[in-house]
Amino acid sequence: MAISNSEIADLFDELADLLDIEGENPYRVRAYRNAARTIRSQPRSLAEMVEAGEDLTRLPGIGTAIAQKIATIVKSGRFPQLEEVLARTPPTLVQLLRIEGLGPKRVKTLFRLLNIRNLEDLERAARQGKVRQLPGFGPKTEALILKHLDQAAGQEKRFLRFEAEGIANALLDHLRSTPGVDRMVVAGSFRRWRETVGDLDILVTVRGESPVMDRFVRYPGVSEVLSHGTTRSSIRLGNGMDVDLRVVPQESFGAALQYFTGSKAHNIEIRTLAVKQGLKINEYGVFRGEERVAGEREEEVYACLGLPFIVPELREGRGEVAAALDHRLPKLVELKDIRGDLHCHTQETDGIDTLETMAQAARRLGYEYLAITEHSRRVTVARGLDEKRLRAQMERIDALNETLSGITLLKGIEVDILEDGRLDLPDHILKELDLTVCSVHYQFNLSERKQTERILRAMDNPYFNILAHPSGRLINKRPPYAVDMEKIMRGARERGCVLEINAQPERLDLDDEHCLMARNIGVKLVISTDAHSALDLGLMRYGVAQARRGWLESGHILNTLPLGQLLAQLKRR
């Protein structure tokens, strides 16, 4: 099987991580990270593009040297540059970067002074009190490391939904050409748009006799066949993900889809309600006694109980059944409601594409506006803007807006919130912008009280508009920093500030429960992609799905408004 885009991207990410640990030139490291981002978000297979002789340098952020490396990986299955680094640096050091409080410099210190090569070495040294003795560490960092290791122990491996989607699509493509296959749907937490997925449940209907099960267990990515039957088979892929395939009768497809979509809590409520009405619901249908009264369509299952259809994103046992009974289900925000993106980066800092390319991509999406929000000067690794460079970019945006039609670029900045609550750029330049996106990018280890006070103090600044990725988490990599989110939301509402739902698949921040909290508190939100390339603008659907899981309607989301109304809402009173 040809190597996937995700696997190629992982190789470049690993190389960037190891070079970062070695203290390599940050611009070279960033080039590899940008390449990985581009590769991972490409809708087409790079392996197929290489085999067809296509020019990979046409892709954003892919120069001649990186294009040659990709071609080598595809054709030989080897990555010589990575192999060179691995020969002198243990690959397990990359695991250490996933620990909160450990960056490349600290990992390098651990390796050189304590010969720590993996998580087991780290835990042993921390429990023996050796980590705290290293320069730049101390007891607090050592305790934080142990806390993170304890939390991670025993947790099942879960994949970002973004990763699971690529895996699922490849499997569905493999099965789609099988004779007799009719409908195929991925159910489970994947269909509910949970941010991480443990395994995949695929339901299929067939016409007549179909060899779909045989074709499924022969999928090239299989490392182990767990079971092989006529109506159900299970496989384990090389990346560790388990996949179930079930063939279900056409007359039971809707009931099976409802059952295997879950969640468990939602299904218990549905079946309890059915019993009260003299019905029985299972994966085969809806029954009154021995008579099947529904099951072919999912909508029928709910209709039999007197319920409107409940979309998968809401099926978490959070009151959706009671709301459906009372006709109080929300009219959830949809992707088509979004009129623009309010957080993106260009080549001026750590993005891949130019202003013009980003504007054209936003216009193709049908957007009315796009905010350009480069990093501010504090983020030196991203070549953050100082006042002089920001003003120069503002002038370029004004000039470009004179030539654009159908799209307006907004002048913004992703300005760092400093440890004392000040913003990273002076007020006299911030007030000239259309909006500010304000972020915490360092000092994640403050106490909950100090972190909360830091953000609220920043919100006191009249030029603070949007709090970006409010919890600071990176899913499967970095937990949220300690903060009183309810207090932050109430403070934002009182000051006229807005919170972001960041659509980057590894962030999805706010999470779904905090989206629901925001709805209940009444603080306004925006959904933005934090795009670092034109392709990233297409990640908006992940942010919209997160908002839907949080019961949010278009009226809760400011960037569903026309430009004039948006700017009026953002203006601090």
Q: State how many domains the chain has.
A: 4
Residues 286 and 402 both lie in one domain: no
- What CATH number does residue 13 fall under? 1.10.150.110
Residues 28 and 83 both lie in one domain: yes
- Token digits of residue 485: 């989110």
Pick from 542, 545, 573, 569: nearest CA to 555? 569
Pick from 209, 208, 205, 315: nearest CA to 254? 205
What's the rounded Cα separation, in Å, for the pair 572 and 460? 11
Residues 204 and 102 both lie in one domain: no
- What CATH number does residue 285 fall under? 3.30.210.10
Residues 306 and 344 both lie in one domain: no
Residues 344 and 490 both lie in one domain: yes
Residues 261 and 296 both lie in one domain: yes
Is there a domain that residue 115 lies in? yes
Is there a domain that residue 230 lies in? yes
Under 8 Å between Cβ of 525 and 547: yes
Is there a domain that residue 359 lies in? yes
Q: pLDDT (tens digit, 0 to 9) for every residue of the chain, 573 residues total? A: 567 787 888 889 888 888 888 888 888 888 888 888 888 877 778 888 898 899 998 887 788 999 999 999 988 888 999 988 888 877 777 777 777 667 777 888 888 888 888 888 888 888 988 888 888 788 878 887 887 777 666 566 789 999 899 889 989 999 998 999 999 999 999 999 999 999 999 999 999 889 999 999 999 889 999 999 999 999 999 888 999 999 999 999 999 999 999 999 999 999 999 999 999 999 999 999 999 999 999 999 999 999 999 999 999 999 999 999 999 999 999 999 999 999 999 999 989 899 999 999 999 999 999 999 999 999 877 789 999 999 999 999 999 999 999 999 999 999 999 999 999 999 999 999 999 999 999 888 889 999 999 999 999 999 999 999 999 998 887 889 899 999 999 999 999 999 999 999 999 999 999 999 999 999 999 999 999 999 999 999 999 999 999 999 999 999 999 999 999 999 876
Domain limits for position 207: 159-247
Domain boundary among 152, 184, 202: 152
Domain boundary among 247, 282, 304: 247
Under 8 Å between Cβ of 207 and 187: no
Give φ, ψ of 23 to 5 degrees. 85, 25
Residues 123 and 271 both lie in one domain: no
Residues 553 and 465 both lie in one domain: yes
Sheet holding 340-341, edge to edge: 340-341, 369-375, 408-416, 437-439, 466-467, 498-502, 525-528
Domain boundary among 96, 117, 152: 152
Is there a domain that residue 330 lies in? no
Is there a domain that residue 278 lies in? yes
- Dihedral sign (CA 395, 399, 402, 405): negative
Residues 374 and 481 both lie in one domain: yes
156: DSSP letter: P
Residues 477 and 343 both lie in one domain: yes
